[in-house]
Amino acid sequence: QSVLTQPPSVSAAPGQKVTISCSGSTSNIGDNFVFWYQQVPGTAPKLLIFDNNRRPSGIPDRFSGSKSGTSATLGITGLQAGDEADYYCGSWDSSLSAGVFGGGTKLTVL
Amino acid sequence: QVHLVESGGGVVHPGRSLRLSCAASGFPFSSYGMNWVRQAPGKGLEWLALISYDGKIRYYGDSAKGRFIISRDNANNTVSLQMNSLRNEDTAIYYCAKRRGTGMIDSWGQGVLVTVSP
Q: B12-34: per-residue pLDDT in tens?
A: 999 999 999 999 999 999 999 99
Q: Which residue of B has its CA nearest to A105?
A: B44
Q: How confident is the model at residue B76 (pLDDT cuts 50, 70, 90)?
A: very high
- A88 and B CB contact within 8 Å: yes
Is the Cα dihedral B17, B59, A30, A66 positive or negative?
A: negative
Q: Do A44 and B45 touch (CB under 8 A)?
A: no
Residue B88 has pLDDT above 90, yes or no: yes
Residue A101 has pLDDT above 90, yes or no: yes
Tell me the CA end-to-end span of chain B in Å, nearest whole number. 40
pLDDT at A91: 98
Query: B71 near B56, Cβ under 8 Å?
Result: no
- A100 and B CB contact within 8 Å: yes
> Which residues are bridge partners to A89 per DSSP?
A36
pLDDT tens, residue by residue, A37-83: 999 999 999 999 999 999 999 999 999 999 999 999 999 999 999 99
Query: B20 near B79, Cβ under 8 Å?
Result: no
Residue A1 has pLDDT above 90, yes or no: no
